[in-house]
Amino acid sequence: MSGENSTKLAVLLHADVIGSTALVQLDETLAHARFQDVFRRFSETIAGHGGTTHEIRGDALVAEFSRASDALAAAVTFQAANGEYIDGLGDEIRPQLRIGVAMGEVVIADSTVTGGGIVLAQRLEQLAPPGGICIQGAAYETLPKRLPFEYENLGEQQLKGFDEPVRVYTVRARGEASSSASAVNDVPAPRELELPSKPSIAVLPFNNMSNDSEQEFFADGISEDIITELSKFRTFFVIARNSSFAFKNESLTVRDVGRKLGVRYVVEGSVRRAGNRVRITAQLIDAIDDKHLWAERYDRELEDIFAVQDEVTQAIVTAIAPQLSTSEQQRARRKPTENLDAWECYQRGLWYMFSYSQADQALRYFNRAIELDPEFGSAYAGLAYTYAIQLLLGASEDKEDDLQRGVHAADTALGIDQNDPFAHFARGRISIFKGDHEKAVAEFERAISLNPNYALAHFGLAHGLWHVGRPAEALPHHDEAIRLSPNDTVMWAFLASKAIALVMVERYEEGIAFSREAQRHSDFHLFSYLAEVSGLGMLERAEEAANALERLRKVEPEISLGFIERSLPMPASEAKDRFLQGLELAGMT
């Protein structure tokens, strides 16, 4: 009866569409229709094997069986049929499932099932390979030996949410190829390449989905351009074109490609032309965890094929670079401190550095990275930028000592690698506090020449230009930084810096708006208030200015014109005078 709950022991099946988010981003309407179709067909198979489908939730399905053998039979039968079905599809919207089967106690109410059994089935499903099935050891032990299945023991696995490890088996129809290297044949498996310390990435040749063979050159051109642009990021290990293109027209999983090339990340995509329009899709995948990190679709008019190629390449690289950096920092933060190597110490240092509030931790990890690898130039650059942040925030206990340490670290980084954009950026930031503003601007320009896609360098150049009284020239570089990294961890700084430049060129309302937008970011700092306070002061909106200044004082009680002069050391200029005048008119002493 509706509203009544029942608890029982059952065999539960949990199925999930692999990479559903990426598929939806390619074509939302078609993807949802395919999801519904795949689960309709699976539900029919489940019913045919004595099971009951309880829930279908967007990209996942939950079903109940009384026997593990029936659940496995349904799963194996459907996976084989679905594999044939998606092989016949003419596009990239191919819903492939992973399935987990477990025994456990569940609560059933109004056709909704909850409980530990479902959670366990879901955790098992996440261990299954694409198109595969995983079963809990306890359920495996109930299976009759006569079944036409083959099993692979994955050993005991520690599953999230479960205190005790769970023995897990993969299941396949007898005669199917094993996922285990030892089951392939007697030919020795090729030596597995070790992952580089840097984030490693391979860009596969994009698939030409058009009937026009000439589009093959266009598709290859995009892949080659992405490889070239990503190679400009010296913190990435990028597989060369010839190695990536060796997989052209081969049917390999992303996990296989990652293993063969020794990379963690893989970029793949497709090109489809219809008339004078072209649709380009791209996705970034963690090949080790078989997890989609990012996907996007680009629809363009094909008036100038090379202009389109350049535009889409730029957009893809712009999206991928921050995703890679964020993914690496998150991986480093999850790892136990005692197991960190030099690269992971560097990544953890970056995370603390960009938080702007834990400089001592950033310095600790950068120094540890240098201890582990004395030739790690980027770690020295991280040290230099962290010292600059301490000077900016007024957090230095010994300003002159930190300044000299920062200069030495930046120069060491450049001595190790003159072509590292991060090292030039760090030298530029510390040069501002040294009072060498023209050198700062030159260092930022050098960083951009080495990597035009480096958002932080464009931000640095913009910041440096208004420091030297050239705010109008700064604004386009602010816009470029924001365009290149629209989800940047220090977006508040991009916005706050642009807001100050706008106030300096007497665009007060715009400066106030950008300042307030910077304050809406959860991790913003006191500099996000400055343009609002100054702009309101210049507009003689005394009550609003006093309110903004009061909010700023709650963040930094010691705020004063002297604090601003120390944190933003600008030479004399009309732009500087206008900015400080606004702060004074607002009531800053």
Asked if residue 187 has pLDDT above 50, the reply is no
422 burial class (0-12, 13-18, 19+ CB within 10 angstroms)?
A: buried
CA pair distance 576, 567, nearest whole angstrom:
13
- Please tell me the distance from the alpha carbon of residue 500 to that of residue 577, in angstroms, as a whole number: 12
> pLDDT tens across 498-509, in order?
999 999 999 999
**Contacts for 283 with CB less than 8 Å, ≥ 6 apart:** 19, 22, 267, 268, 269, 292, 294, 295, 296
301 or 379: whose pLDDT is higher? 379
Q: What is the pLDDT of residue 357?
A: 74
Q: What pLDDT shows up at residue 181?
A: 31
* Lowest pLDDT segment from 229-238, 336-345, 366-375: 336-345
CA torsion angle 559 563 564 565 (round to 10): 160
How far apart are the C-alpha atoms of 292 and 458, rounded to whole Å? 29
Q: How confident is the model at residue 188 (pLDDT cuts 50, 70, 90)?
A: very low
Percentage of residues of the chain with pLDDT beyond 70 = 87
pLDDT-based confidence at 2, cuts 50/70/90?
Answer: very low
pLDDT value at position 185? 34
d(CA 470, CA 461): 11
User: Which of these, 33, 24, 25, 26, lies nearest to 207 by C-alpha position?
Assistant: 26
Which residue intervals of 194-286 are DSSP H helices?
215-230, 241-245, 254-261
Q: Which residues pair with 526 in a beta bridge?
A: none
pLDDT confidence band for 464 (50 / 70 / 90): very high
- Residue 408 makes CB contacts below 8 A (sequence gap 6+) with none
pLDDT > 80? residue 114:
no
- Residue 297: what pLDDT? 84
Residue 204's pLDDT band (boundaries 50, 70, 90)?
confident
Q: Which residue has the higher pLDDT, 484 or 547?
A: 547
Q: Are 83 and 71 contacting, i.e. CB atoms less than 8 angstroms apart?
A: no
> Does the structure show a pLDDT above 70 at 335?
no
| pLDDT at residue 406 is higher than 70 | yes
Query: What's the rounded mean pLDDT across residues 36-43?
Result: 92
Please write the tens of the pLDDT for every residue from 78-95.
Answer: 999 998 888 888 778 889
What mean pLDDT is reported for the chain?
A: 83
Residue 93 identity: I
Confidence of residue 249 (pLDDT cuts 50, 70, 90): low
Please state which of the ranges 106-115, 340-349, 552-561 shows the lowest mean pLDDT.
106-115
Task: State the burial class of residue 562 (Cβ atoms within 10 Å of its Cβ: 0-12, 13-18, 19+).
Answer: exposed
CB neighbours of residue 227 within 10 Å: 21
* Residue 206 pLDDT > 70: yes
Confidence of residue 191 (pLDDT cuts 50, 70, 90): very low
Going along the chain from its start, the domains and CATH numbers come out as 6-177 (3.30.70.1230), 200-332 (3.40.50.10610), 337-451 (1.25.40.10), 458-589 (1.25.40.10)
Residue 238, pLDDT score: 80
Q: What's the average model confidence in pLDDT over 236-240?
A: 78
| Residue bearing the bigger pLDDT, 116 or 335 | 116
Burial of 445 from C-beta contacts in 10 A (0-12 / 13-18 / 19+): middle
pLDDT band at 451 (very low <50, low <70, confident <90, very high): confident
Three-class secondary structure of residue 190 per DSSP: coil
The answer to whether residue 334 scores a pLDDT higher than 60 is no
| Residue 36, phi then psi, degrees to nearest 5 | -60, -40
Question: What pLDDT, on a 0 to 100 scale, did the predictor assign at position 99?
Answer: 95
Is pLDDT at 581 greater than 80 in this prediction? yes
